[in-house]
Structure 1
Amino acid sequence: MQRLPLAAPSVRLRLPAPPGGGGSLGPRTKSLVVAMAIAASAPLLLGAADPPAWTRTQAPFPIAGPITYVGSEGIAAYLIKTSAGAILIDGTLAENAGMIERNIAAAGVRPRDVKLILVTHAHFDHAAGVPALKRATGARVVAGARDVRALETGTPPGETNYGVIRFPPVHVDRGIRDGETVTLGTTTLTARATPGHTPGCTTWTMRIPAKPRPLDVVFPCSVSVAGNRLIGNRAYPGIVADYRRSIAMLGTLHADIVLPSHPELADVIARGRSRQAGNTTAFVDPTLLPKIVAKARVAFDADLAKQTR
């Protein structure tokens, strides 16, 4: 999860003393206090809403080879067509499930032909829509083994500074580990364990045919701290070491195309417009993943230093 809901601070109201001096407030005054508190906090609660782009409709667009973007404007979902059906990566928010299903159909794939749903990690903004999409498609769900419990209980793992944001639970048909693969038809994706953001955070890699040479595609799982508690995280004591290993691992990968769960990290929507305008290599950028990793390393070190103080 990249952006965090803001908790509304408590509202303290100073009221005049009851007529005649001391004594308790009457029922009508108490009701007024409650009403004023709710009214005062309403703007703060409205500010806790998800970014509008997360649920803003985005028409599907081709990326490269068999890959099509089918997510919202602000949260990514990727469709991969194969010789034996299709693979969907992530389900985004629960309220986006219908839009994703329509985008899949608009991309020329019948929902029931989606055979696999791969989940990058167990946070509400990427997994909450998966149960509805699993029901609509009948697809098998695959996720990192260390996130299976979180997905099946709808409770995100670890401790954060913003509390717990639950999501609809979903049965995971296969828990996958580092280096294992999933194959549908002639298409194979490899799972690369990327723990830290969540224990089961999983990066997916694949190679697609292209000229003059095949292209390596990386769907990186997030390595942002995004409110995770790095110090004293009793539910996830190895979180710091996991983050460091995952950032280092991503730095070893070669990627011609980078497709993250939050599209703004790789300008996915802008690249999509360029692709639709005729630039067939709009998504090809071998320098992008090293830049993302370098920024992530700096951001992680800064967050760790801040939490250590």
Structure 2
Amino acid sequence: MFARAISLAFLIMLSACVAPQEPVPAPSSGVMEAARDAAASPVHWAQECKDWDVWEKRAPAFRIHGNTYHVGTCGITAIFIAGPSGHVLFDTGTANGSRQVLTNIRVLGFQPENIKAILTSHEHFDHVGGLWWVHQNTGAPIITSAQARGVIVSGAAHAQDPQAGMHPPMRPLPAQFVSTAPAGQPLNIAGLDFTPVETPGHTPGALSWQWESCEGSECVTIVYADSLSAVSRSDYRFSDHPDYVQAYRDGLARLATLKCDILLTPHPSASGMRDKLLTGDLASGMDCAEYAAHVEARLDTRIAEEANAS
């Protein structure tokens, strides 16, 4: 999956549209090494945070594996991958939580201006509400799915989102800074490869992402799997939307087949991250196949409840 990757030319074109900024030196090997010492221990994160914690509660940044770090809050995941030619950020958290994300990146010793792209999971305010702020502070373009792009550019929920109408609009971003990545094709950003996987259901434009992280000769495959829970507004019935449900199941089937040494999710507790950190092994516990099966069982329960209520 990591063989051929899409060109970064379109990212360079987007970045050229950003207002001129002072040049930022690329991170040196010394900066990369110092970040490992600056990161909190995973156990410290687990001690500071609870399961299903508050979305904007401050949390220390810790290293997941290699140059992959958790820089989010206690309740919302944001993942930072440091590279010698630039960095990649997954999600920003809420508008307020994104400030903590940028602080955590700086605490590690990295400069947010070296972020080359921001990739998204799903298009809800608790995960991408801070896109505008992070973009303003980094100039980094946003890469998302075709369905999510309209939401990010307009700030308004997708009409097919089961939660449409439940949340206030997000601050929109100019269209020239938001691009889409073809699902299933590796995307190369600053020498780092990431593969987007379509996993709609929680939202129409939800993506999961897969990449490889190496620590010396030890390489693991990390999957940032979307939330995927069947949550909706009170008048929405999944059973009234069979095509949407089928796309939901198809995404779960794709997720279940992925190589997945370490599973991460936008809400840390959805994949039992805190328990894994306390055991000292993020590769333990739930994997992608188990996560997909768990989500599909909950979807089946939801559809059965709808049938019983009709």
- Of 183, 187, 193, the residue aligned with 1:182 is 187
Q: Compute the TM-score of the two structures, normalised by the length of structure 2.
A: 0.75
Which whole-Å CA distance do the structure 2 matches of 1:218 and 1:252 have between them? 11
1:53 equivalenced with 2:61 (yes/no): no
Q: Which of the pair has the greater relative contact order for Cα pairs under 8 Å at 6+ separation?
A: 2
Q: Compute the TM-score of the two structures, normalised by the length of structure 1.
A: 0.75
Query: How far off is 1:261 after superposition?
Result: 0.4
Q: Which runs of 5+ in 1 are unaligned?
A: 1-50
Which whole-Å CA distance do the structure 1 matches of 2:166 and 2:221 have between them? 36
Q: Which runs of 5+ in 2 are unaligned?
A: 1-51
Number of the residue aligned with 2:282: 283
Number of the residue aligned with 2:303: 304
1:244 equivalenced with 2:249 (yes/no): yes
Provide runs of 4+ in structure 1 moved above 6 Å: none
Q: AA paired with 1:261?
A: P
Query: How far off is 1:195 after superposition?
Result: 1.4
Q: AA paired with 1:167?
A: M
- Of 179, 183, 206, the residue aligned with 1:201 is 206
Whether the 8 Å CA contact 2:271–2:286 is kept in 1: the answer is no
Which whole-Å CA distance do the structure 1 matches of 2:228 and 2:307 have between them? 19
Which whole-Å CA distance do the structure 1 matches of 2:205 and 2:126 have between them? 15
Which whole-Å CA distance do the structure 2 matches of 1:161 and 1:133 have between them? 25
Query: How far off is 1:116 after superposition?
Result: 0.7
Which whole-Å CA distance do the structure 1 matches of 2:277 and 2:172 have between them? 32
Whether the 8 Å CA contact 1:92–1:127 is kept in 2: the answer is yes
Query: How far off is 1:207 after superposition?
Result: 1.1
Number of the residue aligned with 1:136: 137
Number of the residue aligned with 1:231: 239
Q: AA paired with 2:249?
A: R
Q: AA paired with 2:263?
A: V
1:151 equivalenced with 2:152 (yes/no): yes
Query: How far off is 1:136 after superposition?
Result: 0.6
Give SS of 1:192's match.
strand
Q: More displaced, 127-136 or 193-202?
A: 193-202
Which whole-Å CA distance do the structure 2 matches of 1:253 and 1:54 have between them? 28
Q: More displaced, 164-173 or 255-264?
A: 164-173
Number of the residue aligned with 1:104: 105
User: Does the C-alpha gap of structure 1 residues 272 and 69 become closer, same or farther in structure 2, counting only changes over 3 Å?
Assistant: farther
- RMSD after superposition: 2.1
Q: More displaced, 61-70 or 282-291?
A: 282-291
Query: How far off is 1:270 after superposition?
Result: 4.6
Whether the 8 Å CA contact 2:213–2:219 is kept in 1: the answer is yes
- Of 155, 160, 163, the residue aligned with 2:162 is 160
Whether the 8 Å CA contact 2:65–2:214 is kept in 1: the answer is no
How many aligned residue pairs are there?
250
Q: AA paired with 1:156?
A: A
Q: More displaced, 88-97 or 220-229?
A: 220-229
Whether the 8 Å CA contact 2:229–2:295 is kept in 1: the answer is yes
Q: Percent identity?
A: 25
Query: How far off is 1:54 after superposition?
Result: 0.5
Whether the 8 Å CA contact 2:122–2:207 is kept in 1: the answer is yes
Whether the 8 Å CA contact 1:156–1:164 is kept in 2: the answer is no
Give SS of 1:73's match.
coil
Which whole-Å CA distance do the structure 1 matches of 2:164 and 2:298 have between them? 19
Query: How far off is 1:59 after superposition?
Result: 0.9
Whether the 8 Å CA contact 2:85–2:190 is kept in 1: the answer is yes
Q: AA paired with 2:291?
A: I
Query: How far off is 1:231 after superposition?
Result: 3.4
Q: Which has the larger radius of gyration?
A: 1
